[in-house]
């Protein structure tokens, strides 16, 4: 089966989906109802329930590798099994591993092998700091998506990202380089936090129709209407709006999967409405 | 057993050691003599042989997580077992996991748990892009070392790292922030490539006695004398000079461990000589 990240994503956008569910499945927050004595089983079981409850409402899933690595080989196995389940149960939904990797080129070959060949993810998030030359092992995978950190959602993201250079800020320079030089295969995207709608608009003006992965809605406080107004492209799409904790942990009771579905429906509806405005 | 990264490192420097062996144990390059049918066993067996052959000559070991992740849970297990072996067989030698991680704060908590609590490493390499606020979960671990990427060793590292801002380059601003603001617990270091000796000198002038982790000797072409002349502090120390591929894969024959020892002796000798000049 040949999968192409951008094709899968465009089909989801065709259907009006722009909600991305962040599978940041922190074991300590997984409801009792989904837990067993086994770490891997608990995480995979929880993820399967969340996926089954939301797969018709989303444009992508985005597990963050940190919450799996915290449990070592068992966690890594849980991540692999989660992606395997996604490929079977939701074959039309692309999987972005939010790994924020970035090393020199020869080492990035090994990271690309880990994320794309071992885990079989469709896309990855990467760091810009070492430059585009170092990221070639990711960028050359034409069928995979490569989301470069541009403006992160955290409070202190401006420390370097807002540094002034040649009349611009660093995050603007990153957006320009990625869209004008690194995106030769049409497989790049950028990560821009929903907590910075004005910067999101600036980035959209630079990158035309490039996909923007937007974290920060929900627990981090970003606003759906402002995010979509600032970030949508001329076609009214182009956004992958991620919600993690406030959706997957919407309830800590036995009804956690139904509660996640209700929250996904609410968010998806709000996003569709905002996209029409 | 309470371990403190900086204490372990200073003791190694007292003994004149500044060679760091990079355990970038790419399975495809592990000699036949060290391989079995089992991935984990092959990697751990190779690493044990390299460790046994070099542990009296080094100031640190630095496994790069990418080469382990490429083999998923088996690779992650091999990394954990390698560190476990290091803590037993070379208890005076600190272990730096070269993971180049970096996310928002709440996610970095999970990465810190993965590297420090699960793998039991003494230090980690991290990305500066999200700023110091995001790195708090690492920086607050007083007994652990936190090496921030400053000037990477790859050919294209200047794309963003040399960007001009307020009369300085970005890598200089990173060095200033880390040494003046992030290093409250005295546990920070910087990564500066041996392939850029002039930038290494600039960074040393900014950071006084902060440890600098210097990759790029060996396969990447950095020069030992220039590196040590440019990077040593006023005490003639302060450097962790990493060599990976050219040392651990010095021979592909049955003599691989002896060949690694011979290369480690040669490098260690050249470093001691250069430090006295």
**Which has the closest alpha carbon to A222: A190, A253, A194?**
A194
Contact B129 A71 (CB under 8 A): no
**Closest to B134 (Cβ–Cβ): which among A118, A156, A163?**
A156
Contact with chain B for residue A28, Cβ under 8 A: no
d(C-alpha B171, C-alpha A100), whole Å: 20
Mean pLDDT of chain A: 96
Dihedral sign for Cα B207, B210, B216, B222, please. positive
Residue pair A232/A194 in contact (Cβ under 8 Å)? The answer is: no
Residue A166 confidence class, pLDDT cut points 50, 70, 90: confident
Is A22 buried (19+), middle (13-18) or exposed (0-12) by CB count in 10 A? buried
Residue B220: the pLDDT is: 79
**Through-space distance between the first and last CA atoms of chain B, rounded to whole angstroms:** 38
A173 touches A165 (CB < 8 A): yes
Which pLDDT score, from 0 to 100, does residue A222 have? 83
Cross-chain Cβ contact A77/B80 below 8 Å: no
Helix axes A72-89, A39-54, angle to 10 degrees: 30
The CATH number for A14's domain is: 3.20.20.70
Q: For B199-217, how does the pLDDT look when each residue is reduced to its tens digit (9 = 90+)?
A: 999 999 999 999 999 999 9
Task: Give the helix/strand (H/E) hosting A35.
Answer: none
> Which of B180-189, B219-228, B241-250 bottoms out in mean pLDDT, i.e. has the lowest?
B219-228
List helix spans (H) across A15-104. 39-54, 66-69, 72-89
Residue written as token pair 């992030």: B182
**pLDDT on residue B221:** 81
Smallest CA–CA distance from A27 into chain B, residue: B110
- Whether B196 and B157 have beta carbons less than 8 Å apart is answered as yes
Q: B77, B38 in Cβ contact below 8 A?
A: no
Residue of A nearest to B129 (CA): A160
Give, in order, the Cα–Cα distances in Å from B131 to each of B85, B156, B174. 34, 22, 9
Does A107 sit within 8 Å of B102, measured CB to CB?
Answer: no
Q: What tens digit of pLDDT does each residue of B81-97 get?
A: 999 999 999 999 999 99
Residue A18 has pLDDT above 80, yes or no: yes
Give the pLDDT confidence of B117-150 residue by residue, as tens digits.
999 999 999 999 999 999 999 999 999 999 999 9
Q: ipTM > 0.95?
A: yes
| pLDDT confidence of residue A108 | 98
Contacts with B132 from chain A: Cβ below 8 Å: 156, 159
Domain that holds residue A197: 5-276
pLDDT at B222: 83
For chain B, give the mean pLDDT: 96
The H-assigned helical ranges of chain B are: 5-14, 39-54, 66-69, 72-89, 105-112, 136-139, 158-161, 170-177, 197-207, 224-231, 245-248, 256-276
User: Exposure string (b/e) for A146-176, b if CB count within 10 Å is 16 or more?
Assistant: bbbbbbbbbebbbbbbebebeeebbbbbbbe
The percentage of chain B sitting over the pLDDT mark of 70, rounded to a whole number, equals: 100
Question: What is the number of residues in chain A?
Answer: 277
List all residues 6 or more positions away from A194 whose beta carbon is below 8 Å from its beta carbon. A153, A200, A214, A215, A216, A217, A220, A222, A223, A226, A227, A241
Mutation site for B-interface testing, chosen from A25, A27, A69, A117 by largest number of B Cβ within 10 Å: A69
Tell me if residue A55 is catalytic: no
The DSSP call for residue B195 is: T
* Residue from the list B110, B152, B157 with its beta carbon closest to the beta carbon of A66: B110
Our count of domains for chain A comes to 1
What token pair was written down for A107? 């080492």
| For range B12-21, the mean pLDDT | 97
Does the pLDDT of residue A1 top 60, yes or no?
A: no
Alpha carbons A173 and A139: distance in angstroms, whole number: 18
Distance in angstroms (rounded) separating the CA atoms of residues B20 and B257: 16
CB contact under 8 A, A173 and B161: no
- pLDDT average, residue stretch A149-164: 96
- State pLDDT tens for residues A103-140: 999 999 999 999 999 999 999 999 999 999 999 999 99
Report the relative pairing of strands A164-165 and A168-169 from DSSP bridges: antiparallel
Q: How far apart are CA A61 and CA B24, in angstroms?
A: 31
pLDDT of residue A218: 82
Q: Is B208 exposed, middle or buried (0-12, 13-18, 19+ CB in 10 A)?
A: exposed
The sign one gets for the Cα dihedral B110, B116, B120, B124 is: positive
Mean pLDDT of B215-232: 91
A9 has pLDDT over 80: yes
Owner of token pair 């202190």: A156
* pLDDT band at residue A2 using 50, 70 and 90 as cut-offs: confident
Task: Please work out, in degrees rounded to the nearest 5, the angle formed at the alpha carbon of residue A118 by the alpha carbons of A175 and A29.
Answer: 75
* Whole-number Å distance between alpha carbons of A160 and A114: 29
Strand partners, A242: A20
Q: Which of residues 128-147 of A touch B (CB under 8 A)?
A: 128-134
pLDDT classification of B1: cutoffs 50, 70, 90: low
Contact A76 B73 (CB under 8 A): yes
Asked if pLDDT for residue B24 goes beyond 90, the answer is: yes
Residues 39-68 of B with CB under 8 A from A: 64, 66-67
Give the pairing of strands B164-165 and B168-169: antiparallel
What is the per-residue pLDDT for A219?
77
Q: In this complex, do A161 and B131 lie within 8 Å of one another by their Cβ atoms?
A: yes
In the set B100, B136, B168, B226, the catalytic residue is B100
Question: Which residue in the block uniquely carries the two structure tokens 């000589």?
Answer: B273
Q: Tell me the two tokens of residue A250.
A: 């919407």
Distance between CA atoms of A270 and A274, rounded to whole angstroms? 6
Arithmetic mean of pLDDT, B62-73: 97
SS3 content of chain A, % helix, strand, coil (to 5): 50, 15, 35
pLDDT digit string (tens) for A211-241?
A: 999 999 987 888 999 999 999 999 999 999 9
Comparing CA positions, the residue from A34, A55, A53, A33 lying closest to residue A43 is A34
Confidence grade of residue A4 (pLDDT, cut at 50, 70, 90)? very high
Percentage of residues in chain A with pLDDT exceeding 70?
100
Distance between CA B124 and CA B69 in Å, rounded?
A: 16
The residues, any chain, with a CB within 8 Å of residue B267's CB and separated by 6 or more, are B19, B217, B224, B243, B247
């Amino acid at each position: 089966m040949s999968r192409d990240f951008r094709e899968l994503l465009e089909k989801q956008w065709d259907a009006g989906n722009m909600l991305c569910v962040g599978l940041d499945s922190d074991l300590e927050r997984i409801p009792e109802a989904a837990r067993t004595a086994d770490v891997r089983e608990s995480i995979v079981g929880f993820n399967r329930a969340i996926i089954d409850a939301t797969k018709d409402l989303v444009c992508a899933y985005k597990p963050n590798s940190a919450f799996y690595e915290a449990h070592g080989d068992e966690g890594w196995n849980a991540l692999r099994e989660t992606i395997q389940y996604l490929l079977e149960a939701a074959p039309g939904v692309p999987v972005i591993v939010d790994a924020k990797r970035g090393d020199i080129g020869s080492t990035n070959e090994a990271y690309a092998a880990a994320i794309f060949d071992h885990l079989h993810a469709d896309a990855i998030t990467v760091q810009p700091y070492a430059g585009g030359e170092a990221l070639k092992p990711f960028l050359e995978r034409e069928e995979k998506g490569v989301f470069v950190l541009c403006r992160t959602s955290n409070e202190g993201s401006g420390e370097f990202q807002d540094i002034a250079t040649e009349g611009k800020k660093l995050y603007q320079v990153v957006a320009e380089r990625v869209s004008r030089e690194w995106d030769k295969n049409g497989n790049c995207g950028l990560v821009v936090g929903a907590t910075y709608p004005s910067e999101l608009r600036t980035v959209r003006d630079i990158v035309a129709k490039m996909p923007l992965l937007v974290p920060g809605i929900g627990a981090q406080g970003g606003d759906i209407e402002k995010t979509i107004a600032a970030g949508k492209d001329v076609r009214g799409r182009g956004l992958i709006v991620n919600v993690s904790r406030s959706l997957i942990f919407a309830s800590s009771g036995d009804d956690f999967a139904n509660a996640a579905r209700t929250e996904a429906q609410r968010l998806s509806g709000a996003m569709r409405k905002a996209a029409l405005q």
